[in-house]
């Protein structure tokens, strides 16, 4: 059994849902999993693995993610860790791996943190849920990237099997504790 902490930065809740799916995968395997917003992160000591997940907004991960990593680099390096990124660009097969996703590549280039595991997941698109300004922005992005622009579109591009596999790989990173 391992203690695993999953921290997330999420604007409309999809990254949180991905984290909760990871927890649902890991708890039946006997692991203790805490899913916590990044802004409320507890001390990392005592965890056997730490995951950070963050979504993309207007081409970037939120500065709070970089700030958290900067402030907690030593603690993050003292424990097996993983990072995953959620975006609509990742719906494209040519951009859905850590090696091919532009946001993940930018993240890795910008931070000194070297997570042992990286994940890239497609996000969701639900025009009706967004505040008006966000609806315009995301429609513009969808026009540029040849995605759906119909304002009634509700689409989920997350490969949930890939999320579950990522969760199992996180557990494999963690040093097991005696039961
Ligand atoms: C205002 C806004 C801007 C976005 N900008 C981008 C973007 O630049 N590139 C991209 O691939 N996805 C973009 N997305 C899509 C989100 O990353 C995707 O919807 C994700 O599932 C959001 O996760 P969250 O609800 O956890 O924040 C944007 C979404 C919104 C609402």
pTM: 0.96
Average pLDDT of the residues in 149-171: 97
Q: What is the pLDDT of residue 51?
A: 98
Question: Ligand 1 centroid to 47 CA: how many Å?
Answer: 29
- Shared-domain flag, residues 150 and 167: no
User: What domain count does the chain have?
Assistant: 2
Average pLDDT of the residues in 160-175: 94
What lines the ligand 1 site, CB under 6 Å?
10-15, 55-59, 86-89, 123-125, 130, 134, 137-138, 141
- Shared-domain flag, residues 111 and 81: yes
Residue 179 belongs to a domain: no
Residue 24 belongs to a domain: yes
Of the candidates 25, 143, 9, the one whose C-alpha atom is nearest the C-alpha of residue 86 is 9
Within 10 angstroms of residue 109's Cβ, the number of other Cβ atoms is: 7
> What is the extent of the structural domain holding 134?
126-157
Under the banding of pLDDT at 50, 70 and 90, the label for residue 178 is low
CA 179 to chain centre: 29
- Name the β-bridge partners of 61: 56
- Shared-domain flag, residues 24 and 72: yes
Integer Cα distance of 18 and 114 in angstroms: 22
Judge contact between 54 and 62, C-beta under 8 A.
Answer: yes
Does 126 have pLDDT greater than 90?
yes
- Shared-domain flag, residues 11 and 88: yes
- Shared-domain flag, residues 88 and 142: no
Residue 178 belongs to a domain: no
């Amino acid at each position: 059994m391992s203690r695993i902490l999953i921290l997330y930065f999420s604007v409309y809740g999809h990254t949180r849902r991905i984290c909760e799916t990871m927890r649902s995968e890991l708890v039946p395997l006997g692991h203790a999993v805490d899913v916590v917003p990044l802004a409320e992160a507890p001390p990392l000591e005592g965890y056997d693995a730490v995951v950070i997940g963050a979504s993309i907004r207007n081409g970037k991960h939120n500065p709070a993610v970089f700030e958290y990593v900067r402030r907690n680099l030593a603690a993050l390096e003292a424990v097996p860790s993983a990072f995953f990124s959620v975006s609509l660009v990742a719906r494209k097969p040519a951009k859905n791996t850590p090696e091919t996703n532009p946001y993940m590549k930018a993240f890795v280039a910008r931070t000194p943190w070297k997570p042992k595991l990286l994940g890239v997941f497609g996000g969701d698109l639900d025009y009706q849920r967004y505040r008006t300004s966000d609806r315009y922005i995301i429609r513009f992005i969808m026009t540029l990237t040849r995605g759906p622009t119909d304002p009634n579109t509700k689409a989920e591009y997350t490969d949930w099997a890939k999320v579950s596999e990522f969760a199992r790989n996180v557990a494999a990173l963690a040093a097991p504790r005696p039961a």
